[in-house]
Structure 1
Amino acid sequence: MPGSLEPLDLGVQIPYHFRCPISLELMRDPVTVSTGQTYDRPSIESWVATGNTTCPVTRAPLSDFTLIPNHTLRRLIQDWCVANRSFGVERIPTPKQPADPTHIRHLLTQSASNSNPYPTRLSALRRLRGLARDLDKNRSTISSQNSREILVQLVFADTGSESSELTHEALALLVLFPLPESDCAAVASNPDRVAYLAQLVQHSSMEVRVNSAALIENVLAGSRTAELRAEISNVDEIHQGVVSILRNPIAYPRALKIGIKALFALCLVKQTRNKAVSAGAPETLINTLADFEKCDSERALATIELLCRVPDGCTAFAAHALTVPLLVKTILKISDRATEYAAGALLSLCSASEKSQNDAVAAGVLTQLLLLVQSDCTDRAKRKAQLLLKLLRDSWPEDSVGNSDDFVCSELVVPF
């Protein structure tokens, strides 16, 4: 509990009526239910979400599930926090209140109606987007109001012309929600919509391009059949647009996270991986690998391994001077998954090129692999390391060959 656990260790006693009866922690957003009892909003919402229909304290049935903000109690809690600031207690911020579902329905109706003035529709979408960003509760309410169908229609309302600001706002709001399979199929199976996405992902606005890439990833992830995914991944312009997004990590940090998710989703379609290679994905991935956060680094390395399984991809990665040294350096540095993907990519590269074998040995891969097979890494990573050790046997320094046999045959390594 932020701001309250530490003060307890310092001897500050939180008043009993400031604690949530469910979590027993300092309430940050106190709300009152129909029985008159007050709880912290996240706690009572979780209680109700798990199917409970009674008041946790009184056990009386809840006549309705309306949560009324207890502003008086919140102010008292805030005053208490300020009074105990010297003990390290931080003042809780005034929470934003969830939007009224009726208000959200009104905004959706405004944005969807062609009879409304253009500025009114645009303003409604912007307000909905703001609400969705403010609170997860608002996002859930918007999602429950048939919003995705409305937003898909708005984004693809006029695929034969230049995209408008209304389209861009609808797109920015749409990508905040996962798409059901039916909506994904409605996009992927429509050539005009796919072509429009290819146009949007190469838009002059970076925000539009990133949101388009997010929608592409959503559609690919939500499409059940390989045929539908291929309808998206078979378009050269989509690969080019997604790869170009990854080249702007400093100017637009969100581009890295969205871009690598979209590129990975595209590369999962085996028959169109050459299109990612042709779009410059190998060079871009190596140039930006150091800029990714942990989860995104894993996804980037998985994408590299996938592209290394394509002959042209393997050639393109091998031609980059930093590919092998970076992959060797990655082993045992980021995570078990990252190590597994890096070892897999190195195995493909070294299987295809003697130069890559020499580069790997020069970068210190032998030591890394010997450490890997003795580590707690995944069995798949160890199997790849074993194969790579055997492949590189002729490239090992003479004084290491004898000792290395012990590691390759060690009982610590899962047989393959």
Structure 2
Amino acid sequence: MPGSLEPLDVGVQIPYHFRCPISLELMSDPVTVCTGQTYDRSSIESWVATGNITCPVTRAPLLDFSLIPNHTLRRLIQDWCVANRSFGVERIPTPKQPADPCVVRMLLNQGSSESVAFNLRLSALRKLRGLARDSDKNRAVIVANNAREILLSVVFTEVNSNSSELNHESLAILSMISLSEAECLYVATVSDRVGYLVELLFHSNIDIRVNSAALIEIVAAGIRSAELRAQISNVDGIFEGIVGILNCPLANARALKISIKALFALCLAKQHRNKAVTAGSVPALIDRLVEFEKCDAERALATVELLCRISSGCASFAAHALTVPLLVRIILKISDRATEYAAGSLLSICSASEEAQQEAVSAGVLTQLLLLVQSDCTERAKRKAQMLLKLLRNSWPEDAIANSDDFACADDVVPF
């Protein structure tokens, strides 16, 4: 074993032939290339993806890029892991093999053919959905076999009570993959197609509602035309459907993630933000805010700031008892972006309401803002904090004003 390979901290040495020649780490999914050398699947795939066409060990050209699973070596590695369990070595999981392109093509053909029996079509689409759910690699294989065009056709040309299950299965697969702009336009330019997706936002099955919201978000985010995005946001019931998912007691982490992505995408059309407020998005956002994961919390706060830019949204947030204390608490707690959006939202709300100013001061915003301007947060967040400090100066307690003489507020700050 080369001297550069250090033993594990747990006090056990990994056998040299169990290590990937590229990463020098214990292999979890060993595969053999055409030269006879074995590598960990992720390492050799990364090697090839960066443009290399030779075997890393032998330097011989890779005439065939097929990767053959080395089941014997994987079993030996698993046995070694079990034998060294007392040293803290965990058994590697049995990897799922990527979907076979031939199988994917067969399932797509079977699922989309009107000459095939309904039950067989449905079974094929369900199998395809299972493959898509398993891994990114499977989804890439599915996309590479023209699946998006085929599935879009099934979703929007099989709209009747007898084939609704085919639509729903196809929709579920589409909700997990990206679409090209041309495919997004295929949906966005026909009002009946968007209308059908909006109808599904009110389906009794929460999964179907979420999958429909996912496709709406994919389409809205995938087109460059602001006019088309505005048309989507203007469809009757679309905001009510998305907010309904946010408010649904059965909403899981995926439902929350997709619904906030969809709501944010729709609120980018500023001429229709009043519809979002009317649909109840303000209480839905505030009530769910603490349940979002980091990235989703950032998007939710960005949506709050967008809605605070219209008077009805600002008034609705100011009227919610939890808005100001929650936004104050979020500052410097989640991320730089979240802090920026929270500060911007507070600036809008406090600019429109003296009562909100008093509420913010009572919630401890002064300390939060002073910490913010001294932090490594974004310059935009600091500018918003400076503006908010100037706005709230008349609401500060006297002792706080006396202790803040060393703080200089910028007079030339431009609102975000």
Short-chain TM bin: over 0.9
- For residues 390 and 409 of structure 1, the distance between their equivalents in structure 2, rounded to whole angstroms, comes to 6
1:354-373 aligned at under 5 Å gives the runs 354-373=354-373
Equivalent residue, structure 2, for 1:246: 246
Query: Structure 1 residues 69, 48: CA separation in 2 closer, same or farther (over 3 Å shift)?
Result: same
Given residue 358 of structure 1, which amino acid in structure 2 is its aligned partner?
Q
Structure 1 residue 293, shift from structure 2 partner: 1.2
1:315 is aligned to 2:301: no
Equivalent residue, structure 2, for 1:65: 65
Q: Give CA-to-partner distance per residue, 1:121-173, whole Å, 9 cap, x none.
A: 11111111111222322211111001001111111114476871111110110
Query: Structure 1 residues 162, 206: CA separation in 2 closer, same or farther (over 3 Å shift)?
Result: farther
- For residues 406 and 218 of structure 2, the distance between their equivalents in structure 1, rounded to whole angstroms, comes to 47
- For residues 35 and 74 of structure 1, the distance between their equivalents in structure 2, rounded to whole angstroms, comes to 19
How much is the aligned-residue C-alpha RMSD, in angstroms?
1.9
Equivalent residue, structure 2, for 1:119: 119
Equivalent residue, structure 2, for 1:92: 92
Equivalent residue, structure 2, for 1:54: 54
SS at match of 1:39: strand
Equivalent residue, structure 2, for 1:225: 225
Q: Give CA-to-partner distance per residue, 1:43-89, whole Å, 9 cap, x none.
A: 11111111211111111111211111111111111111111111111
Given residue 406 of structure 2, which amino acid in structure 1 is its aligned partner?
D
Equivalent residue, structure 2, for 1:192: 192
Q: Give CA-to-partner distance per residue, 1:328-387, whole Å, 9 cap, x none.
A: 111111111111111111111111111111111121111211111111111111111111
Equivalent residue, structure 2, for 1:201: 201
SS at match of 1:66: coil
SS at match of 2:337: helix
Contact 2:243 2:280 in 1 (8 A): yes
- For residues 391 and 136 of structure 1, the distance between their equivalents in structure 2, rounded to whole angstroms, comes to 49
Moved more, 185-194 or 227-236: 227-236
- For residues 383 and 135 of structure 1, the distance between their equivalents in structure 2, rounded to whole angstroms, comes to 43
Query: Structure 1 residues 251, 379: CA separation in 2 closer, same or farther (over 3 Å shift)?
Result: closer
- For residues 210 and 187 of structure 2, the distance between their equivalents in structure 1, rounded to whole angstroms, comes to 18
Equivalent residue, structure 1, for 2:179: 179
- For residues 342 and 409 of structure 1, the distance between their equivalents in structure 2, rounded to whole angstroms, comes to 19
Equivalent residue, structure 1, for 2:19: 19
Q: Give CA-to-partner distance per residue, 1:295-353, whole Å, 9 cap, x none.
A: 11111111101001111111111111111111111111111111111111111111111
Q: Give CA-to-partner distance per residue, 1:253-286, whole Å, 9 cap, x none.
A: 3211111111111111111111100100001111
Contact 1:156 1:193 in 2 (8 A): yes
Structure 1 residue 106, shift from structure 2 partner: 0.7
Equivalent residue, structure 2, for 1:136: 136
Equivalent residue, structure 1, for 2:388: 388
* Structure 1 runs not aligned, ≥5 long: none
- For residues 189 and 352 of structure 2, the distance between their equivalents in structure 1, rounded to whole angstroms, comes to 37
1:26-41 aligned at under 5 Å gives the runs 26-41=26-41
1:260 is aligned to 2:247: no
- For residues 240 and 47 of structure 2, the distance between their equivalents in structure 1, rounded to whole angstroms, comes to 47
Q: Give CA-to-partner distance per residue, 1:389-408, whole Å, 9 cap, x none.
A: 11112111222223334213
1:146 is aligned to 2:141: no
- For residues 249 and 336 of structure 1, the distance between their equivalents in structure 2, rounded to whole angstroms, comes to 30
Query: Structure 1 residues 6, 223: CA separation in 2 closer, same or farther (over 3 Å shift)?
Result: farther
SS at match of 2:403: helix
SS at match of 2:248: coil
Given residue 378 of structure 1, which amino acid in structure 2 is its aligned partner?
T
Query: Structure 1 residues 292, 333: CA separation in 2 closer, same or farther (over 3 Å shift)?
Result: same
Identity %: 72
Structure 1 residue 415, shift from structure 2 partner: 6.2
Moved more, 338-347 or 154-163: 154-163
SS at match of 1:276: helix
- For residues 250 and 216 of structure 2, the distance between their equivalents in structure 1, rounded to whole angstroms, comes to 22
1:265-276 aligned at under 5 Å gives the runs 265-276=265-276
Contact 1:379 1:414 in 2 (8 A): no
* Structure 2 runs not aligned, ≥5 long: none
Structure 1 residue 252, shift from structure 2 partner: 2.6
SS at match of 2:8: helix
Moved more, 54-63 or 6-15: 6-15
TM-score under structure 1 normalisation?
0.95
Given residue 381 of structure 1, which amino acid in structure 2 is its aligned partner?
A
Equivalent residue, structure 1, for 2:351: 351
Equivalent residue, structure 2, for 1:42: 42
- For residues 338 and 392 of structure 1, the distance between their equivalents in structure 2, rounded to whole angstroms, comes to 21
Contact 1:249 1:255 in 2 (8 A): no
- For residues 6 and 258 of structure 1, the distance between their equivalents in structure 2, rounded to whole angstroms, comes to 44
Contact 1:236 1:275 in 2 (8 A): no
- For residues 186 and 197 of structure 1, the distance between their equivalents in structure 2, rounded to whole angstroms, comes to 13
- For residues 83 and 186 of structure 2, the distance between their equivalents in structure 1, rounded to whole angstroms, comes to 57
Contact 1:351 1:391 in 2 (8 A): yes
SS at match of 2:31: strand
Structure 1 residue 226, shift from structure 2 partner: 0.2
Contact 1:383 1:414 in 2 (8 A): no
Contact 1:382 1:414 in 2 (8 A): no
Equivalent residue, structure 1, for 2:331: 331
Equivalent residue, structure 2, for 1:342: 342
